[in-house]
Structure 1
Amino acid sequence: MALLDIRFKSLELGRNVSITAIIPVDYIDYFNKVNRSLNPPFKTLYLLNGIYGDSSEWITHTNIKVLAEVNNLCVIMPSGENSFYRNQGEGRNYSNFIGQELLTITRNMFNLSRKREDTFIGGYSMGGYGALYNGLKYHHNFSKIVGLSPALIFDHSSNNSNKPSSLFSLSFLENCFGSLENMDINEFNPEYLLKNLITNDKNVPDIYLSCAEDDEDLINPTRKFKEILEKNKEKVNYSYCEGRGGHNWKYWDNQLESIINWIVK
């Protein structure tokens, strides 16, 4: 398994950017003297980090490298930079970068499949929101979405306005999403995007949704999103998992093997 730290110029972000990549080219069985890596082009998971994190987090805190290797899955990990993976003006078009430019550049850089059915997006917390948002926005590019403890924080911000963390302050939320009024009809809301795709009979990516029971800030909005999926289960294929744990790497890492199996099946 090749593990690469890569830097390149991004037009959408207007500067050099860094990504971490796992490329399944050397799954070596030394006993039988054979490389068990499958021939490219590779299926690819674009995996997003949470707030305050960067492209190295998944490698540092989880078993993603081993799981990618045994499943011959390429994993591309950009840095979200507290952007919620949304366009935020010239030189900060994170959504365009994640949903379009990053795919083009990495496909040109490596021998990755260009097929929708081989291209997936996932993330945790802020990255879980970013995966749902961009996976639905660019539904023609991604066939599967993984939302781990997705930060659908605009959905319950009024209940957390007194919390000291900037994650829940009104000014932080408005900086990320603009006005929190009329979020039910705002394209930044994955619920709105999902309903719009269903209404217009578009291809909805399969969705894997998971949150810990003890994740007090995010479990209720995650359950609400799950209810929408359940109401539309004839048009949306989804899997839902809710287990013991909190908003932490132990929970997310424990989920990862099931998630990778769901992705590559």
Structure 2
Amino acid sequence: MILRGNVYSEVLHLYTGISVLAPDQYQEKGAYRVCYLLHGLHNDQNSWIDSTLLQIFAREYNVLFVLPTVGRSFYADMKHGYNYFTYVSEELPKISKKVFNISAKREDTAVIGCSMGGYGALKCALTKPDQYGFCGAISSACLFIDEHLNGLRKNADYWIKTGGPEAEAILRDFQTAFGDELAYTDGDEIIKLAEKLASNPVRPKIYAACGIEDNLRKENLRFKEQIEKLNLDYTYEEWEGAHDWQFFNDALKKSLQVWHT
């Protein structure tokens, strides 16, 4: 079953796009496991459904997928926009539990994303470990967001000159999310969240993957080296692949396999 539509958010104060994909088979007893599946910078709530084998995965792993849309917000409570992090991590789970037959147990709750959504998934899971038992971070972007923002503050003109219209658009995204000063907090920086979580007895299982040909591979490997120094349940894998839906599809399947073991 696929539902595509809109839901009113009290946090955002608007109707916002949402898709839900449930297994074809009806579950008479118990509740479905739920996965909040987050999209990347250029995508929306329909991208995972339209570009991957998500319908097969829902049936194979008996999971209900909830797919929100957040625009190009970087899953932030934006300085000049909407509070998308609060919406995704707090309001969306409440809405989903009221409407659908999904489990409230953290071990039955996952958050997975690709690219910008990988960053968002890590941010959700590391901020609210009592809520998510599993996190899948696929080809994650902005793992060292402090360096991204610091670099843009110093060299915005060079960034635009060398990157063209896309770079200019991303700069506007960052300014909308983090303000004209591009000021971040420890709550936006993934490694800071991981360091804080290391002393917490409740920690999500984290599975990360990146393609060998992905231009974000270097950053993901560097993040791997740092996070492996912490006392977290973290696994990283890489294989042939680029920053595309073929890799995202395969990595999603592996993420679900790890979650279910």
TM-score, length of structure 1 as denominator length: 0.86
Equivalent in 95, 98, 103 of residue 105 of structure 1? 95
Q: Post-superposition shift, 1:175?
A: 3.3
Q: Post-superposition shift, 1:17?
A: 1.5
Instruction: Tell me which residue corresponds to 1:226.
Output: 224
Instruction: Tell me which residue corresponds to 1:64.
Output: 54
Secondary structure class of the residue paired with 1:166: helix
Distance 1:202 1:180 in 2: 33
Q: Post-superposition shift, 1:52?
A: 2.1
Q: Give 1:1-265 correspondences, 5 Å limit.
A: 2-24=1-23, 26-27=24-25, 37=27, 39-89=29-79, 92-152=82-142, 154=145, 157=148, 158=151, 161=159, 162-164=162-164, 165-166=166-167, 170-178=171-179, 179=181, 186-198=186-198, 200-216=199-215, 218-232=216-230, 235-265=231-261
Checking the alignment, whether the CA contact within 8 Å between 2:125 and 2:204 is kept in structure 1 is yes
Code of the residue aligned with 1:146 in structure 2: it is G
Checking the alignment, whether the CA contact within 8 Å between 2:79 and 2:177 is kept in structure 1 is no
Code of the residue aligned with 1:56 in structure 2: it is N
Checking the alignment, whether the CA contact within 8 Å between 2:123 and 2:190 is kept in structure 1 is yes
Checking the alignment, whether the CA contact within 8 Å between 2:43 and 2:71 is kept in structure 1 is yes
Q: Post-superposition shift, 1:7?
A: 2.0
Q: Post-superposition shift, 1:168?
A: 8.0
Distance 1:62 1:186 in 2: 33
| % identical aligned pairs | 29
Checking the alignment, whether the CA contact within 8 Å between 1:144 and 1:263 is kept in structure 2 is yes
Q: Post-superposition shift, 1:88?
A: 1.2
Checking the alignment, whether the CA contact within 8 Å between 2:77 and 2:177 is kept in structure 1 is no
Query: Structure 1: which 4+ aligned runs deviate by more than 6 Å?
Result: none
Q: Deviations over 1:195-253 (max 9, x none)?
A: 0111x43422111111111112x112211211122212xx2112211111211111111
Code of the residue aligned with 2:243 in structure 1: it is H
Code of the residue aligned with 2:105 in structure 1: it is K
Code of the residue aligned with 1:77 in structure 2: it is L
Distance 2:88 2:173 in 1: 22
Distance 2:178 2:223 in 1: 18
Flag structure 2 segments of 5+ consecutive residues without an equivalent.
Answer: 153-157
User: How much is the aligned-residue C-alpha RMSD, in angstroms?
Assistant: 2.3
Distance 1:65 1:38 in 2: 20
Distance 1:260 1:167 in 2: 36
TM-score, length of structure 2 as denominator length: 0.87
Distance 1:175 1:90 in 2: 5
Q: Post-superposition shift, 1:6?
A: 3.4
